[in-house]
Structure 1
Amino acid sequence: MLLSGKKIAILATHGFEQSELEVPLAKLKAAGAQVDVVSLAPGEIKGWDKKDWGQPVKVDKTLDQVSAADYDALVLPGGQINPDLLRVEPKALAFIKDIYNQKKVLAAVCHAPWLLIETGIIKGKKATSYKSIKTDVMNAGGKWEDSEVVNDLGLITSRNPGDLEAFVTKIIEEVREGQHAQRSAA
């Protein structure tokens, strides 16, 4: 298996875009990784599926139960609601920054680059996002590109749910490559 022995966290809360959590979860597990859905509280979180509430997903661990040292990578699903709720949570922001500062793979899709903005990670980095937050990324110092997937030393961003296949393929490639020692801390 491509990711045998690797551990990946998916950080989300209510309002995550359904496919942006479920597709990486399924594909990363199929590649052999242990994948934990991490959230603010135990139980379930409810997705958003295009225009209405989607299906709940079981939370495997809370932020209080994990640390960056536990994982090889972190995936941040988008949707408008999910990253907006997470970007005001100090524990979520600290976890994201710790993953990045430990030079591990950090992947954000759609609106999730808001979390990269809030943590200061995006400054000076090549990135993409959903088109409606392009200006937010640029105003935070990100080098926005209109590309399906952008990788800047293990910082992976993707535009939208239509690009999930390429997004997950790049996550697998980067996790297999390992830590990005040349990356500077946020």
Structure 2
Amino acid sequence: MSKQEIVRQQAGTVEASPALRIEQGKAEQIVEALNIDLAATYVLYHQLKKHHWNVEGAEFLELHKFLGEAAHEAEEAADELAERAQALGGVPLSGMKTLEETAPVTPEDNDVYDVRTSLANDMEMYGDIIETVREHIELTTNLGDHASAEMLRHHLLELEEYAHHIEHYLEDDTLVLEEATH
């Protein structure tokens, strides 16, 4: 670790960008919202990766690929959220403890669950994040930050698409039959 320590900007602060011309108070509110979305997205990412690694059963390959793709999309969204927070003069959250403490969602514990339980937990988390992102779209729009609102709208579409796919995976119609109980 370097012996030279120069803090360029403290975590939790916002130095509004003169180029983007968003007032300091508005930038602070937007960065806070983006950091909440960033935290939620990283918690979602790690839960999706856990399920990607542990999925088993007859539908393994399809679900393994789907969960990997969903996790990749979450990681890309987190990067966009962090970069936008930084562009607005904020410090994107980092560190798993900080992310988990800030996220409006609670991750599943470390146990491995059956695939239906895992997917139901993922769908619940997607739903919670969708509600928060909708609120933040309204906030950013009302504060005049149309670029952040547009980015969040794109993020919302992706979240809704993945949640909808999970909803389909959880339907009763499947090739895998449960053992009959006599």
TM-score (norm 2): 0.26
User: Larger % of strand: which?
Assistant: 1
Of structures 1 and 2, the one scoring higher in RCO (CA 8 A, sep 6+) is 2
* Greater helix content: 2
